[in-house]
Structure 1
Amino acid sequence: MQQHPGAPEPPPGCPAHGRVPLYTAEFGADPESYYAHLRRFGASAPVELAPGVEAELVTSYPAALQILQNPGTFVRDSRRWRALREGRVPADSPALPMMAYRPNALFSDGAEHARLRQAVTDSLATVDPHRLSRHVERVADYLIDRFADRPGGRADLVADYAQQLPLLVYSELFGCPADVGDRVIFGISGIFEGIDAERANEVLGTALHELVALKRKAPGDDVTSRLMEHPAGLSDDELVNQLVTLLSGGTAPLMSLISTGAALMLGDEKYSGTQYSTGLLVEDAVNEVLWRFAPIANYAVHYPVQDAELDGRVLETDQPVVISFAAANTDPVLSDNSSSLRGKAHLAFGAGPHVCPAKDPAILIGVAAIERLLNRMTDVDLAVAFEDLMWQPTPWSRTLTALPVRFTPVSPPRRPSAAIGQGAGPASAGRQHPQQARTNRWSTFLSWLKGM
């Protein structure tokens, strides 16, 4: 094992030898210390993603690029995963929903990947950015209206805003009718929140199969219909699995991007200056999130087709190799003025043939959501210092558990009485039982929108 001189001691809770667990509260609280420790192994290090789930984590920026851009040696098809094939992965492992094979572009290689990815990229290219921006603003206004006049002027911008906004925006993008959209949101929310995840996954799958059946009969002006009409000729099973990745893989990182970006805007002094417009400041904050707090922290699981050496360590055939986008983006080599890598792009959206196809709409949604929040809530402040915010203990993402803020309550703009009469206005929604509110977010928003 290669050792680097002057390496830091293992952080608290991190074993000095063997595989380093990335699913603990200690890792969630201070991943940077863990990455600093893991770098002592070289370009990659042995980790445990969940109990009994072993992998090699790549922490080096140059090594991450080497793997991401070498699909001939490092493939994405997780049916190769040796430990899973040999029955050495617990059947109820929380890593399986993230790593198990699905017939979609994320887990495909070669010609099959090219076919599926082309359908995704072509369909996303039909999204009008101006229309998308307007819809983000409408969703933002709806969510802000629900807490803007809350007595005491307190809100959690994760639960009240950042978590819900991507779900509502994506329901529109993918053409979900009210009842299907409610079940899609229920499924994705349940998976994110760990609330009856098995049932949530079942509800999500059933709802997406129903959405595909509906669009087969009556296509619309939405991404689902574009996928369906694409010359690639996706089967219903392929369509559902593309949608699972696009919806769940798009909404969770966006929640992180919006909440962490808002936290920086409200809690970091360098964003309080007046020399730039709010828009430029928000774009700067979003870019900093992508560099320093990569929403997808550790993912892009690869499988070597043969044993490969990386900086003195052997990456074994068909054993998971995970890219740490977070560690690669903060690789000390990038801060070296003499390094040829200085100024290179961050890896928050990946690189190579599997680079995220939705990066442009994701940034647009993130920036628009933060701008609308700050324009509407002009005196909002963090209720705790930025450095005291808590993060979720997961290896996959860098996500705040909560973003408590305080503000002076303001009355939302008056809405037509029809919306309130339907029981869909912010006030009536706020009186709903929490479980009911969680299961009908999309239909409630649509009723609000119709009453505008």
Structure 2
Amino acid sequence: MQQHHTPGIPPGCPAHANPQLFGPEFGSDPEGQYDRLRAAGPSTAVDIAPGVEVELVTNYDAALYILQNPALFVRDARRWNALNQGRVPQDSPALPMMGYRPNALFSDGAAHARLRRAVTDALSTVDEYRLVRQTQQIADYLISRFAAEPLGQADLMADFAQPLPLLVFSDLFGCPPDIGDRVIVGISGIFEGTPGADEVLGAALMELIALKHREPGEDLTTRLMQHPAQLSDEEVLHQLVTLLSGGTAPLTGAIGTSTSLYLGEDWRADLPVEDAVTQTLWNYAPIANYAAHYPVRDEQLGDRVLRANDPVLISFAAANRDPKLSEHREQLSSKAHLAFGAGPHACPAKDPAFMITVTAVGALLNGLPDVELRVPFKELSWVPAPWSRSLVTVPLRFTPRQGPSAAVGSRGPAAGQQTPSQYGSSHPQPPVASSVASTPNQPAHHAAPSRKGGLFSRFLAWTKGE
């Protein structure tokens, strides 16, 4: 990849190495880093992980140009020069995110069209009203687990935003309790770097696929297996992994950030939850830097040369906040952001993702009407990782529920329950955030299923009143 050095700075100077999009320094000020990168032009070289260089596109128009030109910029990671030449560490955290998998995300042409059609057709069978009801019920369950805490405190991320998407997807996939527990353990472990998590997830999903051969159901797994594209079991497995990894972490980020914005010190009381979610997608894109493309030949972009088969990543986070875009952003559609990508590889589940986020945020605000942030929004910390934009911890306080009322929703949405969004009818006044010191947060770790079952088993038991 061609390097451009500032005049007077010797090439290879350690003090002027590539900017790093990982670690505490990046996590403490991602917006400042994006501002500096944009100043270098529409793209520049960065390290996405130790020893892993990519070209990062930070300009909105340049990002659209690449996303919408699949003939010039392909997605097949088997082209990756540095990886093929042994220059990427085998234990690099970039490999699980950028390495080739036989799914729609890493395919091109006819192979991509076949796999994507299977995914989009399967997703089209999801009943939107049922999805909203199920999300509401899952939110009620999670709130019930901490609503009666004597101190009236919880962590939005660990107690709500992280487990909710995992439970939603376990239900959408048609998992029985024991398999759902292992799917959650596996996907959680992958994002937490737990050794063996890949194997746990793969084994659980293969067991699910075998079950659906014997007992088909009204679920995404069965729809993928029965699609006319005739996916192999391995292909079904990898599409499920893509849906899980591409859905759970971004939804966690969107739910956490949208709720925090809504409860934050600068939020207007007359704006609905949908606006908080839309602002999150514009200003805090949950998938921050991703979508590796590989030029089929050397391409000029500004004063940079994008070398054939060197990875070009899209910074959705930086492109969405491109200062040149802000000049006419008011004239753009509210959906013109790149949080869901663009072009042939755009997220096929953007509408369900938006509904899940809005419903989850509304359920929390209604379930805990006086909930507030324990620290101002501007003082919250972001996860120091390049791939996703998510808050580390969001300390909440609320009035504890007493007695039977602690069981939010009575195993589901109560009759007449209001949601501050278009999926309900009410908009409660946001509480005033107070400046109280945050407590350190530990990431949510889901223990392996015990005799009482794991998270999904316990949720299903709760829905039955057990």
Report the TM-score, using the length of structure 1 for normalisation: 0.89
Residue 101 of structure 1 is matched in structure 2 by 100
> Are residue 284 (structure 1) and residue 284 (structure 2) matched?
no
Is 1:140–1:372's contact at 8 Å kept on the other side of the alignment? yes
Residue 451 of structure 1 is matched in structure 2 by 465
Residue 387 of structure 1 is matched in structure 2 by 378
Deviations 1:363-396 (A, max 9, x none): 0000000001101100000011111101111000
C-alpha displacement at 1:270, in angstroms?
A: 2.7
| Aligned AA (1:389) | L
What CA distance in whole angstroms lies between the structure 1 residues aligned with 2:159 and 2:449?
12
| Aligned AA (1:69) | Q
Residue 143 of structure 1 is matched in structure 2 by 142
> Are residue 441 (structure 1) and residue 455 (structure 2) matched?
yes
Which secondary structure does the structure 2 equivalent of 1:323 belong to? strand
Would you say how many aligned residue pairs link Structure 1 and Structure 2? 421
What CA distance in whole angstroms lies between the structure 1 residues aligned with 2:199 and 2:64?
36
Closer, same or farther: CA 204–345 of 1 in aligned 2, 3 Å:
same
What CA distance in whole angstroms lies between the structure 1 residues aligned with 2:132 and 2:277?
16
C-alpha displacement at 1:217, in angstroms?
A: 1.3
Which secondary structure does the structure 1 equivalent of 2:369 belong to? coil
Deviations 1:39-62 (A, max 9, x none): 122100100010111100000000
Once superposed, which parts of structure 1, at least 4 consecutive aligned residues long, lie more than 6 Å away? Answer: 1-4, 338-344
What CA distance in whole angstroms lies between the structure 2 residues aligned with 1:48 and 1:218?
47
C-alpha displacement at 1:271, in angstroms?
A: 3.2
> Are residue 226 (structure 1) and residue 223 (structure 2) matched?
yes
What CA distance in whole angstroms lies between the structure 1 residues aligned with 2:46 and 2:66?
18
| Aligned AA (1:403) | V
Residue 178 of structure 2 is matched in structure 1 by 179
Residue 128 of structure 1 is matched in structure 2 by 127
2:358 to 352, 363, 367: 367
Is 2:281–2:337's contact at 8 Å kept on the other side of the alignment? yes
What CA distance in whole angstroms lies between the structure 2 residues aligned with 1:434 and 1:358?
26
Is 1:49–1:395's contact at 8 Å kept on the other side of the alignment? yes
Which secondary structure does the structure 1 equivalent of 2:150 belong to? coil
Residue 325 of structure 2 is matched in structure 1 by 334
C-alpha displacement at 1:450, in angstroms?
A: 1.3
Residue 424 of structure 1 is matched in structure 2 by none
Closer, same or farther: CA 407–164 of 1 in aligned 2, 3 Å:
same
What CA distance in whole angstroms lies between the structure 2 residues aligned with 1:295 and 1:79?
26
Closer, same or farther: CA 183–19 of 1 in aligned 2, 3 Å:
same
Is 1:335–1:342's contact at 8 Å kept on the other side of the alignment? no
Which secondary structure does the structure 2 equivalent of 1:269 belong to? coil
| Aligned AA (1:435) | A
> Are residue 377 (structure 1) and residue 376 (structure 2) matched?
no
Is 2:278–2:334's contact at 8 Å kept on the other side of the alignment? no
C-alpha displacement at 1:272, in angstroms?
A: 2.3
Closer, same or farther: CA 119–344 of 1 in aligned 2, 3 Å:
closer
Residue 244 of structure 1 is matched in structure 2 by 241
What CA distance in whole angstroms lies between the structure 2 residues aligned with 1:77 and 1:222?
29
What CA distance in whole angstroms lies between the structure 2 residues aligned with 1:56 and 1:81?
12
Is 1:18–1:46's contact at 8 Å kept on the other side of the alignment? no
What CA distance in whole angstroms lies between the structure 2 residues aligned with 1:335 and 1:81?
34
C-alpha displacement at 1:436, in angstroms?
A: 5.4
1:413 to 395, 401, 405: 405
C-alpha displacement at 1:16, in angstroms?
A: 6.5
2:214 to 210, 214, 217: 217
> Are residue 354 (structure 1) and residue 345 (structure 2) matched?
yes
C-alpha displacement at 1:343, in angstroms?
A: 6.9
Closer, same or farther: CA 157–343 of 1 in aligned 2, 3 Å:
closer
| Aligned AA (2:393) | A
Is 2:75–2:108's contact at 8 Å kept on the other side of the alignment? yes
Closer, same or farther: CA 313–348 of 1 in aligned 2, 3 Å:
same
What CA distance in whole angstroms lies between the structure 2 residues aligned with 1:259 and 1:244?
23
Counterparts of 1:150-229 in structure 2, within 5 Å, are 150-194=149-193, 196=194, 198-229=195-226
What CA distance in whole angstroms lies between the structure 2 residues aligned with 1:168 and 1:53?
34
Counterparts of 1:13-24 in structure 2, within 5 Å, are 17-24=16-23
| Aligned AA (2:343) | G
C-alpha displacement at 1:17, in angstroms?
A: 2.8
Residue 117 of structure 1 is matched in structure 2 by 116
| Aligned AA (1:216) | H
Residue 440 of structure 2 is matched in structure 1 by none
Unaligned runs of 5+ in 2: 7-13, 412-444
C-alpha displacement at 1:190, in angstroms?
A: 1.2
Closer, same or farther: CA 229–88 of 1 in aligned 2, 3 Å:
same
Residue 66 of structure 2 is matched in structure 1 by 67
Moved more, 167-176 or 335-344: 335-344
C-alpha displacement at 1:3, in angstroms?
A: 9.7
RMSD: 2.4
What CA distance in whole angstroms lies between the structure 2 residues aligned with 1:152 and 1:403?
16
What CA distance in whole angstroms lies between the structure 1 residues aligned with 2:448 and 2:183?
14
What CA distance in whole angstroms lies between the structure 1 residues aligned with 2:263 and 2:257?
10
What CA distance in whole angstroms lies between the structure 2 residues aligned with 1:63 and 1:193?
32
What CA distance in whole angstroms lies between the structure 2 residues aligned with 1:338 and 1:191?
37
Deviations 1:237-290 (A, max 9, x none): 1000000010121010000000000000111433323xx5xxxx1000000000
Is 1:123–1:227's contact at 8 Å kept on the other side of the alignment? yes
Structure with more of its chain in helix, by fraction: 1
Report the TM-score, using the length of structure 2 for normalisation: 0.86
What CA distance in whole angstroms lies between the structure 2 residues aligned with 1:190 and 1:298?
21
Is 2:136–2:359's contact at 8 Å kept on the other side of the alignment? yes
What CA distance in whole angstroms lies between the structure 2 residues aligned with 1:246 and 1:16?
40
Closer, same or farther: CA 311–2 of 1 in aligned 2, 3 Å:
farther
